Structure 1
Amino acid sequence: MKPFVLLATRAEDVPADEEYALFLRYTGLDERDLMRVRLEADPMPRFDLDRISGIFVGGGPFNASDADETKSAVQHRVEAEFEALLDEVVARDFPFLGACYGIGTLGAHQGALIDRTYPEPISVVPVTLTEDGASDPLLEDLPREFDAFVGHKEAITVLPSSATLLASSPNCPVQMFKVRRNVYATQFHPELDVDGITTRIHAYAGYGYFAADELELTLAAVRRASVSHPSRMLRTFVERYAR
């Protein structure tokens, strides 16, 4: 099988390694078939899309809506690399699934309005599929409404005409969309389970996602409901696109 690729941007080793382990677990792939590239450490390699099956993008610390003058040199590099990659991905309608930071990369590439209007604290939220989402083959194993883990400072406020809205939540109108037939992005985290998000809560306690005295409240918020459905789309993505 041609491998899949996970593009990651987490600088902290513990959550970065756990993110990779979660993608391995819920895709059903082994390390030979899921190549990880840590973009915060090294430039993105030039991918020959004919030699891989698909691309995943994990979450990370970068925000597309950050002012240019506040972005680090690494963030500017990573954004330029994604812009070039997505030129080819979208033109070829190549299998792509971006989670959290991935929705910012694809949204920015397509000209979406991304700002701080619809942030969501680290928590579990109900996600509802649109009519297009309910009929999409990537989501066929999911119920019309399901719980998912979220935690983001920015979100898409206005989708471009090139995008099809697939899912929303009460406080974030764009939880998932696609471009063409095979290029997907989610605001929620399909790869996470409660242990994984607990690791991230501790790792990013000082990153502005919650106040210093809200650690226990945040931990309780992600335990209030069982989250099991979103990860199914990772296995479905692999089953659809492995070649």
Structure 2
Amino acid sequence: MQHDTPLRFLIVESETAAERDTRRRSAGKSAGESFAATLEQLSPRARIELVTPSDPDADIPNPDEIATHDAVFLSGSPLHVYDETPETRRQIAFMRAVFASGTPSFGSCAGLQVAVAAAGGKVRSMPFRQEAGIARRLMPTEAGRDHPLLSDRPAVWDAPAIHGDEVEDLPPDATLLATSLAVRVQAAEIRSGDGIFWGVQYHPELSPGEIGAALRRQAETLVEDGLCRDADDVEAQAALFDRLHDAPGDHATRWRLGIDAEFAEEPRRRTELIAFIERLVIPTRMRRRQIA
């Protein structure tokens, strides 16, 4: 994606400092740093900044400062937005500032959940956890079929996912864009104040290797939740994601994981991110320039 002047992206780390360190030890990057690496590939000339609202001493931009960016991206994390903690309160307050700024925003997993809570919706712990590695049989709703976020997706697709929480109720002025049998809210558009947010419960920014690392980090809870019998089960599944990462075209690995090109091939995994930049971020920047 080439543009006359570099795009300015602001990435919100949804993790705490300790969680960022834990993820770096297993995957080499924090969740926000993973987002940055993906965006650097999609838009090599982009100017990217990271902000850490969970940190009590972080330098947090106000709505006017946020508005100097072309887009805001909210990463995933182990954050539970329904917990009344200083970290969750700061994350939600920052997302409300993003909405007030009118800057287009995108979030995955916990990023979607933060936006939902900030706009008046509700998030809960999943009563029956199923998605650890792959979100299967995602389907656009009637509103989602022609929505620019999902218009390049087929009628059914799979995506990287790992989460224990889900959206229970969308906020007012939100549109459900995709669903599945396992999780009702898989993608949504949220409008609040002057802001527009496009978000997904899954992870278009993550590589298969990062999904494998996430499975290893969560091995104990995956066994507790009944998704795996023991740690060896978790390791066997994580190793398949490692193999896919190294050889995305390997037919045997695709068969073992039960996936197709929508998951295995990097450009297809990133469909929603590409659509967000091309169909919301760039047009919004053009309108802002005309007004200015």
TM-score, normalising length from structure 2? 0.70
AA in 1 matched with 2:146: S
Report the equivalent of 1:237. 276
Segments of 5+ residues of structure 2 without an aligned counterpart are: 1-5, 225-229, 242-256, 286-292
1:77 aligns with 2:86: yes
AA in 2 matched with 1:36: L
Q: CA deviation at 1:166?
A: 0.5
3-state DSSP of counterpart to 1:219: helix
Q: CA deviation at 1:23?
A: 4.5
Q: CA deviation at 1:215?
A: 1.1
Whole-angstrom distance in 1 between the partners of 2:223 and 2:273: 28
CA contact (8 A) 2:53 2:90 kept: no
AA in 1 matched with 2:37: L
Out of 93, 109, 124, the residue aligned to residue 115 of structure 1 is 124
Report the equivalent of 1:198. 212
Q: CA deviation at 1:59?
A: 0.9
CA contact (8 A) 1:152 1:209 kept: no
CA contact (8 A) 2:113 2:123 kept: yes
3-state DSSP of counterpart to 1:105: helix
Report the equivalent of 1:50. 67
Whole-angstrom distance in 2 between the partners of 1:6 and 1:31: 16
Whole-angstrom distance in 1 between the partners of 2:209 and 2:152: 23
1:162 aligns with 2:173: yes
AA in 2 matched with 1:234: L
Identify the range of structure 1 (222-231 vs 3-12) with the bigger mean alpha-carbon deviation.
222-231
Whole-angstrom distance in 1 between the partners of 2:130 and 2:45: 32
TM-score, normalising length from structure 1? 0.82
Report the equivalent of 2:29. 17
* Percent identical: 22
Deviations 1:206-234 (A, max 9, x none): 4x244443313543786331404341221
Out of 176, 182, 194, the residue aligned to residue 187 of structure 2 is 176
Please say which structure displays the higher CA radius of gyration. 2
Q: CA deviation at 1:104?
A: 1.5
Report the equivalent of 2:259. 225
Report the equivalent of 2:249. none
After superposition, the Cα gap between the structure-2 partners of 1:159 and 1:119, relative to the gap in structure 1 and judged at 3 Å, is farther
Report the equivalent of 2:161. 150
Identify the range of structure 1 (21-30 vs 120-129) with the bigger mean alpha-carbon deviation.
21-30
Deviations 1:159-211 (A, max 9, x none): 233211011111110111111273122111111221221122223334x2444
Whole-angstrom distance in 2 between the partners of 1:235 and 1:190: 10
CA contact (8 A) 1:97 1:185 kept: yes
Whole-angstrom distance in 2 between the partners of 1:2 and 1:175: 27
After superposition, the Cα gap between the structure-2 partners of 1:119 and 1:91, relative to the gap in structure 1 and judged at 3 Å, is farther
Identify the range of structure 1 (100-109 vs 88-97) with the bigger mean alpha-carbon deviation.
88-97
Whole-angstrom distance in 2 between the partners of 1:45 and 1:137: 31
Segments of 5+ residues of structure 1 without an aligned counterpart are: 69-75
Whole-angstrom distance in 2 between the partners of 1:94 and 1:141: 24
Whole-angstrom distance in 1 between the partners of 2:138 and 2:150: 12
After superposition, the Cα gap between the structure-2 partners of 1:16 and 1:131, relative to the gap in structure 1 and judged at 3 Å, is farther
After superposition, the Cα gap between the structure-2 partners of 1:36 and 1:16, relative to the gap in structure 1 and judged at 3 Å, is farther
3-state DSSP of counterpart to 1:55: strand
Whole-angstrom distance in 2 between the partners of 1:40 and 1:193: 25
CA contact (8 A) 1:100 1:189 kept: yes
Q: CA deviation at 1:93?
A: 4.1
Whole-angstrom distance in 1 between the partners of 2:181 and 2:108: 19
Report the equivalent of 1:3. 8
After superposition, the Cα gap between the structure-2 partners of 1:16 and 1:159, relative to the gap in structure 1 and judged at 3 Å, is farther
1:87 aligns with 2:96: yes
1:62 aligns with 2:79: yes
Q: CA deviation at 1:87?
A: 2.3
Whole-angstrom distance in 1 between the partners of 2:46 and 2:121: 35
After superposition, the Cα gap between the structure-2 partners of 1:31 and 1:105, relative to the gap in structure 1 and judged at 3 Å, is farther
AA in 2 matched with 1:111: G
Whole-angstrom distance in 2 between the partners of 1:134 and 1:221: 32
Structure possessing the higher relative contact order (Cα contacts under 8 Å, 6 or more residues apart): 1
CA contact (8 A) 1:53 1:95 kept: yes
Count residues with an aligned counterpart: 234
